[in-house]
Amino acid sequence: MLKGNVRVLFASLIGSAIEWFDYFLYGTVASLVFNQLFFVSENPTIGLIIAYTSFAIAFFLRPIGGILFSHIGDRLGRKKTLVLTLSLMGVSTFGMGMLPTYQVIGIWAPIFLTCLRFVQGLALGGEWGGSVLLAVEYAPKYKKGLFGSVPQMGISIGLILGSLVMSVMTLLPEDQFMSWGWRVPFLLSAVLVIFGLWIRKGIDETPAFKKAQEAGEVSRLPIADTLRYHWKAVLIAMGAKVVETAPFYIFGTFIVSYATTTLNFNKTDALNAVVIGSVVATIIIPIIGNLSDRIGRKNIYLFGIAATILYAFPYFWMLQQGSVFLLILATVIGLGFIWGSVNAVLGTMISEFFPAKVRNTGISLGYQLGAAFAGGTAPLVATALLATFNNSFVPVALYMILAAIISLFAISFIKNNGQTNEQIDSELDLNM
């Protein structure tokens, strides 16, 4: 049993890490390369905003991907969706590494790049829910939090891999990096995808889905049942996602352009800070996930919300000091400890809102809608706020606080503390 669980956890983790590695590459490269080679503008700030807009647009494809692939997951099984989404992500990311630039094919360069980004959004929209459910639905009793936190580690691991390989590439001379160095991570992703597919094809369907299938409880149209009977839970999941996703893209993506263009840090230092913060998050996530099985997921989430509110202004103050040490420390606290704690429990917490027959659809819809409205837009909003308010960090800090308040309101409708019950398929008690 233990050996089987380890294989399942590894399958959920490796696929999630690869998907997020591919996805985050775009966000990092958008701030360093795409604004110069694909979204060309005489005004560097406008080019960066356009690049971040292409980054944000894909988030609005994620709910569509979530609906599409979660339909497959709730109708035909979790495993099938995981193979499909990983394949799509691999093809689109490899294609980005092969694209000619604006200087070669003109306006077609940003068009093709944006289309491939759309495919990434669709793939990730279906990936997350399947990965979380693969872990949670295989978890032993009273270990849902620990198991559910493992695929969440894939987010920080993907960010580590993407930032680390880009950090190494930025050591190249500037002309070589801009010519071919930035392409290397996109092309190498093909190797990771092949490995991930091999791992995932060797696992079985989850016990919870098998049980629902045998009992004839598979929904014919999961999205219809979800919106008809569980729409309130979807809204709560969507609101809960805001405090996890908006600050994350400030701590992990926006910081790269902000530190290098506004605060005059070099690219390598900024990327290394993100790598170190992500390593800390990866270590923290399973510890917090395990803790949530004892003290409850809502309690931990409330801590993360309070910490985000209290840390927003100190975070930017530390960055303003111009110290590499403080840049790293600020990122470790924000990305590593605060975001790591929130992220550790989010997947398991919202999976407990829905019964097995619509669980894939329910969690994917709530999570991806929250990501669309608050995640992908975060670097764009932050950059626009800086440009509007003369590079003042105050509006960006207030934006992070607003995200936390929205999530506080959302989870206030959860009556219990989100601690794992013996029967995860029972409805979470919602005060609505």
Q: How far apart are CA 116 and CA 94, in angstroms?
A: 10
Other CB atoms within a 10 A radius of the CB of residue 43 amount to 10
Give the mean pLDDT of 54-83: 78
Q: What angle do CA 336, 186, 178 make, to 5 degrees?
A: 95
Give the pLDDT score at 2: 46
Residues 6 or more apart from 188 whose CB is under 8 A from it? 165
Q: How far apart are CA 162 and CA 272, in angstroms?
A: 11
Q: How far apart are CA 385 and CA 381, in angstroms?
A: 6
Q: How far apart are CA 245 and CA 23, in angstroms?
A: 14
Task: Tell me which amino acid residue 338 is.
Answer: I
CB 340 within 8 A of CB 156: yes
Give the mean pLDDT of 64-68: 84
Provide the 3-class DSSP secondary structure of residue 42.
Answer: coil
- 150 has pLDDT over 80: yes
Give the pLDDT score at 3: 52
| Residue range 91-139, pLDDT digits in tens | 988 999 999 998 899 889 888 988 898 888 888 788 777 788 878 878 8
In the chain, % of residues over pLDDT 90: 33
Q: 72 or 153, which is more confident?
A: 153
Other CB atoms within a 10 A radius of the CB of residue 15 amount to 28
Q: How far apart are CA 330 and CA 249, in angstroms?
A: 14
Q: How far apart are CA 416 and CA 348, in angstroms?
A: 14
Task: Tell me which amino acid residue 71 is.
Answer: H
| Residue range 9-47, pLDDT digits in tens | 888 888 778 777 876 777 778 777 887 888 877 677 777
User: Which spans in 201-339 are helix H?
Assistant: 207-214, 222-229, 231-249, 255-257, 267-295, 297-320, 324-331
Give the pLDDT score at 426: 42
Rounded to two decimals, what is the model's pTM? 0.81
| Residue range 415-430, pLDDT digits in tens | 765 443 333 434 334 4
Residues 6 or more apart from 402 whose CB is under 8 A from it? none
Give the pLDDT score at 307: 97
The tokens for 293 are 């099985």
Comparing 55-69, 247-261, 351-365, the range with the smallest average pLDDT is 55-69
In the chain, % of residues over pLDDT 70: 92
424-428 contacts: CB < 8 A, separation 24 or more?
A: 424/136, 424/137, 424/144, 424/208, 424/351, 424/352, 425/208, 425/355, 425/356, 426/355, 427/353, 427/354, 427/355, 428/233, 428/352, 428/353
Other CB atoms within a 10 A radius of the CB of residue 119 amount to 19
| Residue range 171-204, pLDDT digits in tens | 889 899 899 999 998 898 888 888 888 877 777 7
- How does DSSP classify residue 428? P
Q: 159 or 324, which is more confident?
A: 324
Q: 239 or 426, which is more confident?
A: 239
Give the pLDDT score at 327: 96
* Listed residue (61, 122, 58, 56) closest to 88, CA to CA: 122
Give the pLDDT score at 419: 41
Mean pLDDT across the chain, nearest whole number? 84
Give the pLDDT score at 421: 38
Q: What is the largest CA-CA distance in the chain?
A: 62
Provide the 3-class DSSP secondary structure of residue 100.
Answer: coil
| Residue range 248-288, pLDDT digits in tens | 989 988 888 899 988 989 888 998 898 899 999 999 999 99
Provide the 3-class DSSP secondary structure of residue 296.
Answer: coil
Q: How far apart are CA 74 and CA 180, in angstroms?
A: 42
| Residue range 398-413, pLDDT digits in tens | 999 999 999 999 999 8
